[in-house]
Amino acid sequence: MQQLANDLIGTESRLGAHNYKPLDVVLSRGLGVYVWDVDGNRYLDCLSAYSAVNQGHCHPKILEAMVEQASKLTLTSRAFRNDQLALFYEELAALTGSHKILPMNSGAEAVESAIKTVRKWGYEVKGVPENRAEIIVCSDNFHGRTIAIVGFSTDPDARGGFGPFPSGFRTVRFGDAEAVEAAMNENTVAVLLEPIQGEAGVIIPPAGYLRRVRELCSARNVVMILDEIQTGLGRTGKLLAEEHEGVEADVTLIGKALSGGFYPVSAVLSNSEVLGVLKPGQHGSTFGGNPLACAVARAAMRVLVEEGMIENAAVQGDYFKEQLAGIRSNLVREVRGRGLMLAVELHPEAGGARRYCEALRARGVLAKDTHDHTIRIAPPLVITREQVDWALEQFDAVLTGLPQ
Ligand SMILES: *Cc1c(COP(=O)(O)O)cnc(C)c1O
């Protein structure tokens, strides 16, 4: 059986672009917090496809909705209407308190859509002179992989070699509200940021930061855009991470777990003034708002709420973090996170996070190294206390160097 995994890895390596360096585990099945490889080994998934499977792998109710809809109608394009879109809008608006919704597919598309929309809002509503709109973004951001988005990334791997890039972005240090204020001028249309930076290594800004940015945006007639594609939909123990600071963004971006990992579904949420600038023909997507996506997302939202996953993320996350912080290991520099969005940052002398992720894998835990020294931990939100305890035993063993 080992042979099958090796063959598949060999074929991938021969035919695929090498834009990822995955752990060499070939998965063929998933259920809840667990995934199984082609050799039948079981793993506890502590990545959740970057928080796209918050509801757990192959959630039966989402699966049922998907199969049912797939056998009825999958795609109409927006040239015609379908009977799922209105219900998706209604349920998403009720869940998030939004007034207008733009359905897209990937997270990057939601970000691109927001950028286009706030620029147009800037010209038509705020009165910014044509082609002068500026958007303030943060250092170490991650918003996706399109040209406009990587153009304002500060990660050399993400942007290097891909220019030229669109202009109109100003970068300030993440977590520094004064820098946001200093970067604002009469042409500023929006501030775009992640409430907690996920890809940067689960970086939580200082308390009060989002509130201060909110005040600045309100005072200067600037749209506050929160990219909650990773932090949203329960990951941090609240529906949206903005709730931890009691703020409300003007534009909120969600994706990933909006479909529970079944299908790419994203959305731009806003008030009527901002999304209201889009008129027929000015923006679109063949697959955006398709009935299959809508039916899957409706089920994914429903189980998130009905099955108490958001509350569970808060409870298990607090416990997981506290217990991780209690592991006595001289490898660990810091344990941080909110809800089930956690990270263990190792000292540079530990020799890099990758080898600890390999060691965890050998013990049945799949976690992801990020930026050399950080292990990211983000299990599905359905994880139980017993499963957290079992995962903790494996982290303890790996971080205290017990023989495997
Ligand atoms: C994953 C992610 C994106 C991009 O989503 P894709 O679906 O991969 O395009 C954007 N922003 C944040 C914060 C993300 O975590």
- State whether 107 and 222 are in the same domain: yes
- Roughly what angle, to the nearest 10 degrees, separates helices 291-306 and 60-70? 160
pLDDT more than 90, % of the chain: 98
Residues with CB under 6 A from ligand 1: 50, 106-108, 111, 142-144, 194, 198, 227, 229-230, 255-256
- State whether 33 and 66 are in the same domain: no
| Nearest atom (ligand 1) to Cα of 227 | 13
User: Exposure of 93 by Cβ count < 10 A (0-12 exposed, 13-18 middle, 19+ buried)?
Assistant: middle
What is the sign, positive or negative, of the torsion defined by CA atoms of 174, 178, 182, 184? positive
- State whether 207 and 65 are in the same domain: yes
CA 198 to each of CA 50, 60, 203, 341, 342: distance values in angstroms, whole numbers, following the listed order:
9, 28, 7, 8, 9
> What's the pLDDT band for 402 if we cut at 50, 70, 90?
low
Give 115 Cα–ligand 1 centroid separation in angstroms: 14
| Nearest Cα residue to 347 out of 361, 329, 366, 326 | 329
Of 241, 275, 306, which closes a domain?
306
- State whether 110 and 147 are in the same domain: yes
Please give the Cα distance from 366 to 127 (Å, whole number).
50
- State whether 115 and 209 are in the same domain: yes
Please give the Cα distance from 110 to 118 (Å, whole number).
12
* Residue range 263-303, pLDDT digits in tens: 999 999 999 999 999 999 999 999 999 999 999 999 999 99
**N-term to C-term CA, the chain:** 22
Per the annotation, the verdict on 169 as an active-site residue is: no
Q: Would you state the structure tokens that stand for residue 338, as one six-digit string?
A: 């909110």
| pLDDT exceeds 60 at position 372 | yes
CA 169 to each of CA 31, 91, 196, 232, 376: distance values in angstroms, whole numbers, following the listed order:
42, 34, 20, 24, 29
> What's the pLDDT band for 232 if we cut at 50, 70, 90?
very high
Residue 138 lies in a domain: yes
Spatial neighbors of 81 by CB under 8 A, at least 6 apart, are none
Residue 144 one-letter amino acid = G
Mean pLDDT, residues 92-119 taken together: 98
Please choose from 51, 142, 147, 194 the residue to mutate so as to test ligand 1's pocket, defined by most ligand atoms within 8 A of CB: 142
The DSSP code sequence of 72-89 is T-----TTS--TTHHHHH
Average pLDDT score, the chain: 97
Please give the Cα distance from 60 to 223 (Å, whole number).
39
Report the SS3 class of residue 251: strand
Residue 92 lies in a domain: yes
Please give the Cα distance from 230 to 50 (Å, whole number).
7
The CATH number given to whatever domain includes residue 120 is 3.40.640.10
Catalytic residue among 37, 45, 176, 227: 227
pTM as predicted: 0.97
- State whether 3 and 114 are in the same domain: no
Please choose from 152, 203, 229, 236 the residue to mutate so as to test ligand 1's pocket, defined by most ligand atoms within 8 A of CB: 229
Residue 106 one-letter amino acid = S
Mean pLDDT, residues 218-244 taken together: 98
Per the annotation, the verdict on 88 as an active-site residue is: no
**Domain span including residue 189:** 60-306
| Nearest Cα residue to 85 out of 282, 250, 298 | 298
- State whether 6 and 119 are in the same domain: no
Please choose from 256, 266, 285 the residue to mutate so as to test ligand 1's pocket, defined by most ligand atoms within 8 A of CB: 256
Spatial neighbors of 261 by CB under 8 A, at least 6 apart, are 48, 49, 52, 53, 55, 57
**C-beta separation of 366 from 35 below 8 A:** yes
Per the annotation, the verdict on 238 as an active-site residue is: no
Residue 404's pLDDT is what? Answer: 45
> What's the pLDDT band for 218 if we cut at 50, 70, 90?
very high
- State whether 5 and 139 are in the same domain: no
Catalytic residue among 88, 120, 142, 368: 142
Residue 326 lies in a domain: no
**C-beta separation of 216 from 180 below 8 A:** yes
> What's the pLDDT band for 2 if we cut at 50, 70, 90?
confident
Q: Would you state the structure tokens that stand for residue 97, as one six-digit string?
A: 């308190």
| Nearest atom (ligand 1) to Cα of 149 | 10
Give 199 Cα–ligand 1 centroid separation in angstroms: 9
Residue 88 lies in a domain: yes
Residue 332 lies in a domain: no
- State whether 69 and 9 are in the same domain: no
Residue 343 lies in a domain: no
Residue 323 lies in a domain: no
Please give the Cα distance from 186 to 184 (Å, whole number).
7
* Residue range 111-125, pLDDT digits in tens: 999 999 999 999 999
- State whether 255 and 106 are in the same domain: yes
How many folded domains does the chain comprise? Answer: 2
Residue 67's pLDDT is what? Answer: 98
Which of these ranges, 185-189, 232-236, 260-264, 398-402, has the smallest mean pLDDT? 398-402
